[in-house]
């Protein structure tokens, strides 16, 4: 079984940065992206799907399927 992590979308990152700026704006209090829930969640790779203009990965997490652009995948590895 192959698992991977997915880079968060730009909208998720902008929500985090906007929230941080509205509360403090202090650089030392900026949340660490390495601890972001969207960045650390592991997904099981089910299949790859060819679309009209790009290729998607079909991923599973907590019993839910999600279609993600393959350019957002990272830390792909084989687990037993």
pLDDT above 70 as % of the chain: 98
Let me know: does 44 contact 2? Beta carbons within 8 Å: yes
Give the per-residue pLDDT at 31.
Answer: 76
pTM of the model: 0.78
Give 22-55 pLDDT, tens digit per residue: 877 676 777 788 888 888 899 999 999 998 899 9
Minimal CA–CA distance to 5: which of 32, 49, 30, 37?
37
Give the per-residue pLDDT at 25.
Answer: 67
Using CA atoms, how far apart are residues 7 and 38, in angstroms rounded to an integer?
7
Let me know: does 60 contact 43? Beta carbons within 8 Å: yes
Retrieve residue 52's tokens: 């009209």
Q: Domain boundaries in the chain?
A: 2-78
């Amino acid at each position: 079984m192959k698992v991977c992590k997915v880079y968060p979308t730009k909208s998720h990152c902008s929500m985090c940065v906007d929230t941080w700026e509205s509360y403090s704006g202090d650089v030392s209090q900026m949340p660490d992206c390495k601890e972001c829930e969207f960045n650390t969640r592991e997904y099981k790779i089910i299949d790859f799907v060819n679309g009209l203009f790009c290729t998607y990965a079909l991923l599973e997490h907590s019993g839910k399927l999600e279609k993600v652009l393959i350019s957002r995948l990272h830390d792909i590895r084989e687990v037993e």
